[in-house]
Amino acid sequence: MNSSRSNFYVSPGNYLGLLGGGQLGRMFCHSAQSLGYKVVVLDPDPDCPSGMVADYHIAASYNDVNALEKLSKLCRSVTIEFENIPCNSLEILSKDCIVTPSAHAVSVAQNRIKEKEFIQSQGVEVAPYKSIYNEKDITENMEYLLPGIIKVSKMGYDGKGQAIVSSLDEAREIYYKFGEVPCILEKNLSINYEASVVLARDFSGNSVFFPISINIHNKGILSSSFVRKDIDSSIYSHEKERMIRKAKKIADSLNYHGVLCVEFFVLNNNTIIVNEIAPRPHNSGHYTIDACFESQFDQQVRVMTGLPLGSTELLTSALMLNILGDSWFDTDSGVLREPNWHDILSLSGVKLHLYGKKEARPLRKMGHLTVLGDNINLLEDKARIVATKLDLSFW
């Protein structure tokens, strides 16, 4: 099936396919089912968060030909939950299904080298970097990138597969530690703040943009995202249009279909560069579930079924806090115990989303909280209370 067609429509009651069984897929299932669709999840983990709520779960690897055939017979339209899905599997599915995003778009986003080359080809700035394919690529002409960050080209996420280095010897050591796979060495820049543009683009080339969030990270993992309804008074108001233009250019140039997140770094001199792109709903867009007229997952369903794009209107200011597995362990003793949800949910304007993961582990994303309210001071006060009770980092 030609995935570039713009006149298709998948009516409610039909099955939608999802490759990937994590928490993003779980939230996708909720949105799809609220619109009357059924969801088939393909994921090898029999206990994956998406499989628990999907209408049907195919427990098989992503490149299992029989599983892909089964999925294509059930579904007219298929999407992904994370970018490390084999592109060959998407190519196979595209013969019989609408696939969003395309295998080409995913192939760019899942490879840091290809991603940076593509973004630069569109005249959009990225951090200075060099590609590393073997030890001989680590030479003196890289010294201007130090101190820098080595990142594996593929399969890195949430701070995994990257390390800060201050010398070429350290760079070589980390390159060996990462298994001598293709990497990039990226200059460590002085950043004012990070922001995300989450957009949805349909098969007719129409795009809608969610309000831009400001993001804080801890140990390479997103800690919190903040979005204000009074956007004109916020720190990033004068950069907003520039970010949206750059994000739109990237999406249009990729001929992208679906939900896309473009992460930006705003430097201390107000230069705006793209950090990376994610071809799917994004952690920094989770606030949209509770704070927007339509969520990023609602938009994902709309694009893949041929429904019109929904409103991205922000109904209230919001602050999203990630809950990691660390919150299940007592700070002093390290003993495993359940967080005090009763006290946390006694606060008004606090929405809890847990992902159904059976085992809490340090640095593992277990859920998130969204604190809502138009009084910014009260919102931040509540967020601090929640962060203290759950031992979360907070800006």
User: Looking at residue 2, what is its pLDDT?
Assistant: 44
Output the six-digit token pair for 62: 């992503």
Query: pLDDT band for position 334 (50/70/90)?
Result: confident
Query: pLDDT band for position 88 (50/70/90)?
Result: very high
User: Looking at residue 394, what is its pLDDT?
Assistant: 67
User: Looking at residue 161, what is its pLDDT?
Assistant: 85
Contact 258, 79 (CB under 8 A): yes
- Expressed as residue numbers, the domain containing 151 is 128-187
The answer, yes or no, to whether residue 182 has pLDDT greater than 60, is yes
Residue 81 lies in a domain: yes
Cα 217–chain centre separation: 13
User: Looking at residue 335, what is its pLDDT?
Assistant: 93
**216 and 346 belong to one structural domain:** yes
Residue 5 lies in a domain: no
Q: Residue 49 maps to which CATH number?
A: 3.40.50.20
Contact 286, 258 (CB under 8 A): no
How confident is the model over 102-145, as pLDDT tens digits?
A: 999 999 999 999 999 999 999 999 999 999 999 999 988 899 99
Residue 287 lies in a domain: yes
Gap between the Cα atoms of 68 and 66, Å rounded:
5
**179 and 300 belong to one structural domain:** no
Cα–Cα nearest to 53, from 66, 39, 68? 39
Segments of the chain assigned E as strands: 15-19, 38-42, 56-58, 75-80, 98-100, 129-132, 148-152, 162-165, 183-187, 191-201, 207-209, 213-218, 221-227, 258-267, 272-278, 318-324, 350-354, 365-372
Mean pLDDT taken over the chain: 93
Output the six-digit token pair for 278: 């994610």
Task: Tell me the CA end-to-end span of the chain in Å, nearest whole number.
Answer: 47
Q: Residue 276 maps to which CATH number?
A: 3.30.470.20
**378 and 233 belong to one structural domain:** yes
Residue 146 lies in a domain: yes
Task: Look at the chain and report how many structural domains it folds into.
Answer: 3
The answer, yes or no, to whether residue 101 has pLDDT greater than 70, is yes
Gap between the Cα atoms of 271 and 107, Å rounded:
28
Average pLDDT over residues 6-26: 95
The answer, yes or no, to whether residue 159 has pLDDT greater than 90, is no
Average pLDDT over residues 288-310: 98
**91 and 137 belong to one structural domain:** no
The percent of the chain in helix, strand and coil, each rounded to the nearest 5, is 35, 30, 40
Gap between the Cα atoms of 369 and 343, Å rounded:
13
User: Looking at residue 238, what is its pLDDT?
Assistant: 73
Gap between the Cα atoms of 174 and 171, Å rounded:
5
In the chain, the largest separation of any two C-alpha atoms, in whole Å, equals 60
Quick count: other Cβ atoms within 10 Å of Cβ 331?
9
The answer, yes or no, to whether residue 234 has pLDDT greater than 80, is no
Q: Which positions make up the binding site for ATP? A: 112, 151, 156-162, 186-189, 194, 217, 275-276
Query: pLDDT band for position 338 (50/70/90)?
Result: very high
Query: pLDDT band for position 52 (50/70/90)?
Result: very high
Q: Residue 173 maps to which CATH number?
A: 3.30.1490.20
Q: What does the radius of gyration of the chain's CA atoms come to, in whole angstroms?
A: 21
The pTM score is 0.94
Q: Which positions make up the binding site? A: 112, 151, 156-162, 186-189, 194, 217, 275-276
Gap between the Cα atoms of 63 and 66, Å rounded:
9
The answer, yes or no, to whether residue 327 has pLDDT greater than 80, is yes
Cα 82–chain centre separation: 8
Query: pLDDT band for position 157 (50/70/90)?
Result: low
292: which strand partners? 314
